[in-house]
Amino acid sequence: MQSRGELKLKVEKLSLSFGSVQALLDVSFDLYEDEILALIGPNGAGKTSLLNCISGFYHPDRGSVFFNNQDISRLSPSKRAKLGMSRTFQNIELYTGLTVLDNLMAARHIYISYGPMAGSFFFGRARREEIENRRVVEKIIDLLEMEEIRYKVVESLPYGLRKRVDLGRALALEPKVLLLDEPMAGMNVEEKEDMARFILDIQELKHIPVIIVEHDMGVVMDISQRVVVLDFGKKIAEGTPADVKRSEKVIKAYLGKELSDT
């Protein structure tokens, strides 16, 4: 079996409830550096709640999250971001009145160390840091093929390109782990193909492990190395895409029928 590389993220027995509603119950899995792991399941299965626990937006009732062997279970989202965790959201949260370039540069704030005075006069360290941040952002623009929309205001862009900008902003943090919450929702076939290609390039070229929540099972089967399946907050299956699509529990809870191999 091909090596999956170093263990980057460990989720251990996470449980989360909202009043009497059990969103997650004892969910555990690992993420390795050389893989794309898909989270699938019916609506309301707990997929986004799980991402929110991993990224710090929710604090679980029980369980732990380890990132690079460090327990980050009680860290704030901002501290997790500084450690190298980045994500996108189901509902795009961009600065719609700013350009694509400005949105990506805004994500570089954690790398800015100069003060207001140096920033006002734009010399010395402020200038050096701005040049370095722009260099990183321009590489992301090239990777995601956004050269032609670099200076366009985000609110003028079609939905599919906004999703691409959202991914670019997550990459601008230079993450060590990338969490993608339905990055292809609402896209047409061509846009989905582009996004799938970008996600594969990110993992293969930058060696950033990815957790992706996605409902398009064709995409999941094509790009992921492993799949974790949730149903009513519980993990009901984990394995390769080929194994998961043949699982009777998964077929009954989510797929409805076994996917063909073609």
Q: Which domains does the chain have, with CATH numbers?
A: 1-84+175-262 (3.40.50.300), 95-172 (no CATH)
Per residue in 194-245, pLDDT (tens digit) is 999 999 999 999 999 999 999 898 999 999 999 999 999 999 999 999 999 8
Per residue in 16-57, pLDDT (tens digit) is 999 999 999 999 999 999 899 999 999 999 999 999 999 999
Per the CB < 8 A criterion, the answer to whether 106 and 133 are in contact is no
Whether the pLDDT of residue 259 is over 60: the answer is: no
Whether the pLDDT of residue 88 is over 60: the answer is: yes
How crowded is residue 260: how many other Cβ atoms within 10 Å of its Cβ?
6
Where does the pLDDT of residue 72 fall: very low under 50, low under 70, confident under 90, or very high at 90 and above?
A: very high
- The overall average pLDDT reported for the chain is 90
Whether the pLDDT of residue 61 is over 90: the answer is: yes
Where does the pLDDT of residue 3 fall: very low under 50, low under 70, confident under 90, or very high at 90 and above?
A: low
Q: Which of these, 96, 47, 57, lies nearest to 80 by C-alpha position?
A: 57
- The rounded percent of the chain whose pLDDT value lies above 70 is 91
Q: Which of these, 224, 181, 233, 232, lies nearest to 13 by C-alpha position?
A: 233
Pairwise pLDDT comparison (110 vs 154), residue with the higher score: 154
- The rounded percent of the chain whose pLDDT value lies above 90 is 77
- d(Cα 150, Cα 158) in Å, to the nearest integer? 14
- d(Cα 14, Cα 52) in Å, to the nearest integer? 11
- d(Cα 34, Cα 185) in Å, to the nearest integer? 25
pLDDT at site 1: 44
pLDDT at site 180: 97
pLDDT at site 115: 62
pLDDT at site 117: 56
Q: Average pLDDT in the 135-139 region?
A: 96
Whether the pLDDT of residue 139 is over 60: the answer is: yes
Phi-psi region of 198 (alpha: psi -120 to 50; beta: other; left: phi over 0): alpha
Whether the pLDDT of residue 66 is over 80: the answer is: yes
Look up the pTM and report it.
0.90
249-240-63-45 Cα dihedral, nearest 10 degrees = -40
pLDDT at site 85: 96
